[in-house]
């Protein structure tokens, strides 16, 4: 007899999508607050291990990943936890504890905001 059960995926609790942190780089100069927010995101992703972890979560089937499924990035488990915390602190990941495991998720609005930030507006005709 197995005590394994399938847990449903959680839907985002926000009624509206999260507003992007910043306008596209080509739209206007950043405010000091926008620059700080964007810099924190890029700083968090500037580490190769964090970028691998972020990519592992973002590309995981179902849009979320158990830490047990993504921790094989060539560093110790405590170091993985440290890097995941940095990604959470930068607003790039959210997490939820389920029993003894922690599941991480990249909110679609975060990916959209990052994509919008780096979008180059087409030249006016």
Q: List, for residues 49-99, the tens digit of each pLDDT value.
A: 999 999 999 999 988 999 988 888 889 988 999 999 999 998 899 999 999
Q: How many CA within 13 A on the CB side of residue 83?
A: 25
Q: What is the DSSP string of 50-89?
A: HHHHHHHHHHSGGGEEEHHHH--SSS-HHHHHHHHHHHHH
Q: List, for residues 5-32, the tens digit of each pLDDT value.
A: 333 333 444 334 444 567 777 788 888 9
pLDDT at residue 39, rounded to an integer: 87
pTM to 2 decimal places: 0.73
């Amino acid at each position: 007899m197995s005590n394994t059960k399938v847990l449903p995926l959680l839907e985002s609790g926000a009624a509206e999508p999260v507003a992007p942190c910043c306008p596209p780089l080509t739209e206007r100069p950043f405010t000091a607050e926008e620059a700080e927010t964007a810099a924190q995101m890029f700083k968090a992703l500037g580490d190769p291990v964090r970028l691998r972890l972020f990519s592992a979560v973002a590309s995981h089937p179902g849009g979320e990943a158990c830490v047990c499924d993504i921790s094989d990035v060539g560093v110790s488990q405590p170091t993985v936890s440290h890097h995941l915390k940095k990604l959470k602190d930068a607003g790039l990941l959210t997490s939820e504890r389920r029993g003894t495991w922690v599941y991480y998720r990249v909110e679609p609005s975060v990916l959209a905001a990052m994509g919008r930030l780096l979008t180059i507006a087409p030249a006016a005709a």
